[in-house]
Amino acid sequence: MSLSVVKRKGRESLYIRGTVRGQSIYECTGTPDPQQAEAYRAKREAELWEESVYGKRAVVTFAAAVSAYLEAEQRSESTLFHIERLLRHFGTRKLNAIKQEDVDRAYKAILTKGTDAAPATKLRGVLTPLRAILEFASLRDWCDKPSFSSPKIPRTKMQFLRPAEATNLVNEAAPHIRPLLVFLIGTGARMSEALELNWHDVDLPAARVVVWQKQDTERHIDLPPVVVLALSGLPHREGRVFRPYRGKAMGVGYHDTGRNGGGQIKNAWAYACERAGLPGRERVWTPKGSTNEKRVFVPDLTPHCLRHTWATWHYCIHKDLLRLKEEGGWQTISIVTRYAKKMPDFHREAVIRWLAHTDWPDIVLVCQIGANKDKGQ
């Protein structure tokens, strides 16, 4: 028995009903138009015949896989953004029909710079989310395991700060940013881990915090004295530990970027780096609709360099890669080896002194707030 278009009492949309290869079907076509409903029937019947002969993997579409992927668990905002663009491009294309040339065409169609986009952009915007969806589908035997060529990302120079540079950076930052910078340097926490830190995960008397990693695993971090000093000087003890200031008003927390941390303090970071004399370049452009040039300082270093700084200092002090791997929350020792012997032993005592600071009024925010009040600011 084949499928037929039928009406359902009380419903405007038409339905299809029947049996294909022993499988009973009763589905809404989503349209009241007889011609469109007939087209839906013909397509659906062909899919069911193909599935019965060649199996499920012959008919599952990218759109269907995306739907299942999103229903399986909650995805981040950035992941949803990239998936939406992929869905517009691949639509109802069969999963097994997506090959390397289709990935190359996706770069061109989806990314602003097309095939000229940076390798990291191709990975982030197309290949990584596409692989995730296809691997999800392959586990359910809807398609073969994806095998695509990955853009080669050139290795960049790992940048870190010496103790004197770290001091200058902290001192030149806006007062409310200083405790955050000290925390990042003194713990090696990722920016996302720091900005999501809540006071209920902080034990100041025990000098210990618990942060949550990208893999939803917790990591316990022992705090050096300088970090305890910085946290002790914050004027609140509930909610998010690190908060933005807008004028004199303190916010409740930095905005969520789906764990793509760093951009939340972009301006404050550039301001501190420029004042501290750290390397960078000046970006000059004329905004659309304006005749006046704008100039901003773009530092060579990013906030993630503070994690490199902590790791480099850690090895300089302890000379223990396994300990560095565990305390830094890395999954493989190969990632950690890049930090070995980067910091000369000459700086070891200065690093130890930096982390042991217990008298540094500039990083104690309540002191800065009090000083501003005394000045009438």
What integer is the mean pLDDT of 223-242?
Answer: 96
- Among candidate residues 34, 54, 74, the one where a domain is terminated: 54
Q: Are residues 203 and 349 in the same domain?
A: yes
Determine, yes or no, domain membership for 205: yes
Whether residue 114 is contained in a domain is answered as yes
> Tens of pLDDT along 114-161?
999 999 899 999 999 999 999 999 999 889 899 999 998 887 788 999
pLDDT confidence bin for 1, thresholds 50/70/90: low
For residue 116, being part of any structural domain is answered with yes
Mean pLDDT of 240-253: 87
Same domain, 191 and 269: yes
Say which CATH number the domain at 328 has.
1.10.443.10
Q: Is residue 301 part of a domain?
A: yes
Q: Is 261 helix (H, G, I), strand (E, B) or coil?
A: coil
Do 177 and 277 reside in the same domain of the chain?
Answer: yes
Copy the structure tokens of residue 60: 């599952």
Report the percent of the chain where pLDDT is more than 70.
92
Q: Of 38, 54, 70, which one is at a domain's C-terminal end?
A: 54
Does one domain contain both 314 and 174?
yes
- At 233 the pLDDT is 95
Q: Which two tokens stand for residue 272?
A: 């501190």
Task: Give the type of residue at 34.
Answer: P
* Residues 169/272, Cβ–Cβ less than 8 Å: yes
Q: Encode pLDDT of 5-35 as tens digits.
A: 999 888 888 998 988 877 788 888 889 999 9
Residue among 163, 192, 343, 180 at smallest CA distance from 255: 192
Average pLDDT, the chain: 89
What was the pLDDT predicted at 376?
37
Number of domains in the chain: 3
Q: How far apart are CA 112 and CA 72, in angstroms?
A: 30
Give the model's pLDDT for residue 375: 38
Claim to verify: residue 252 and residue 306 sit in the same structural domain = yes
Asked if 355 and 232 sit in the same domain, the reply is yes
Q: Is residue 153, in this structure, part of any structural domain at all? A: no
Q: Which candidate, 127, 91, 131, places its Cα nearest to that of 111? A: 127
Mean predicted confidence (pLDDT) in 59-86: 90
Residues 100 and 168 placed together within one structural domain of the fold? no
Same domain, 269 and 124: no
Q: Name beta bridge partners: 26.
A: 17
Boundary of a domain, candidates 104, 139, 174: 139
Q: Judge whether 351 lies within some domain.
A: yes
Predicted pLDDT at 53: 58
For residues 15 and 74, membership in a common domain is answered with no
How many Å apart are CA 224 and CA 230, to the nearest integer?
10
Are 263 and 246 contained in the same domain?
Answer: yes
Q: In whole angstroms, how far apart are CA 92 and each of 26, 64, 95, 96, 319?
A: 21, 8, 9, 12, 54
Q: Is residue 157 part of a domain?
A: no
Cα 208-212-216 angle, rounded to 5 deg: 145
Same domain, 181 and 323: yes
- State residue 52's pLDDT score: 66
Domain that holds residue 342: 163-374
pLDDT of residue 223: 98
Within this chain, do residues 26 and 72 fall inside the same structural domain, yes or no? no
349 inside domain: yes
Rg (CA), the chain: 28
